[in-house]
Amino acid sequence: MTGLFSEEPTVQIQRQTTVNSNKQGVSQSRKADTSGMEQLIENLTAYSSPLMNAATELLGILVTIKRQGSSRDINRFRQKLLDAIESFRLRGLHLDYHPSVIENSCFVLCAALDEAVLYTSWGERVRWENHSLLSKVFSQRNGGEAFFILLEKASQQPKKLSDFIELQYVLLALGFKGRFCYEDEGQLHDIISHTYGLIRPYRTEIPLQAPKSPKLIEGKQPWLMYRVRKILGMTFLIFATSYGFAEYWYHISSQSLLSQLDIIDTLGVNLKKANSELVYLSTDDDLGREVIKLEENIGMKEEVVAQQWEIILATFLNPDNAVRLSNEVSQAGYKSYTRASGRGVELYVNAGDDLSEIRKLKNELNIRFGLDTMIRRAQK
Q: 59-84 burial, b for 16+ CB within 10 Å, e for fewer? A: bebbeebeeeeeeeebeebbeebeeb
pLDDT of residue 214: 80
Q: Give the C-alpha separation, 368 to 370, whole Å.
A: 6
Residue 243 pLDDT exceeds 80: yes
Domain over 37-202 is classified CATH 1.25.40.590: yes
12-66: pLDDT as tens digits: 555 544 434 444 444 444 554 445 555 545 555 556 788 988 998 999 999 999 8
Largest Cα separation within the chain, whole Å, is: 172
- Give the residue-averaged pLDDT of 242-262: 81
Note the Cα 274 to chain centre separation in Å. 75
Q: Give the C-alpha separation, 54 to 47, whole Å.
A: 10
The amino acid that residue 188 corresponds to is L
Residue 10 pLDDT exceeds 70: no
Asked whether 95 and 54 are in contact (CB, 8 A), the reply is yes
271 — pLDDT class (breaks 50, 70, 90): very low
353 — pLDDT class (breaks 50, 70, 90): confident
Instruction: With residue 337 as reference, give the H or E element that holds it.
Output: strand 337-341
283-342: pLDDT as tens digits: 555 555 554 444 455 555 444 456 788 888 888 888 888 888 888 888 888 888 888 887
pLDDT of residue 23: 41
pLDDT of residue 272: 46
Q: Give the C-alpha separation, 315 to 360, whole Å.
A: 21
Q: Is the dihedral of CA 102, 108, 109, 111 positive or negative?
A: positive
Q: Give the C-alpha separation, 107 to 147, whole Å.
A: 8
DSSP 180: G
Residue 200 pLDDT exceeds 70: yes
pTM of the complete model: 0.47
Q: Say which range, 206-210, 283-287, 288-292, 345-349, has the weakest mean pLDDT.
A: 288-292
Q: How many CB atoms lie within 10 A of CB 232?
A: 10
72-103: pLDDT as tens digits: 888 999 999 999 999 999 998 888 889 999 99
Residue 216 pLDDT exceeds 80: no
Q: Say which range, 4-8, 128-132, 183-187, has the weakest mean pLDDT.
A: 4-8
Topology of domain 307-380 in CATH is Alpha-Beta Plaits (3.30.70)
- Give the residue-averaged pLDDT of 195-212: 80
pLDDT of residue 165: 92
pLDDT of residue 258: 72
Domain ranges of the chain: 37-202, 273-300, 307-380
- Give the residue-averaged pLDDT of 100-116: 93
Asked whether 207 and 184 are in contact (CB, 8 A), the reply is no
HSE-CB at 102 with a 13 A cutoff on CA atoms is 18
Q: Is the dihedral of CA 341, 343, 345, 346 positive or negative?
A: negative
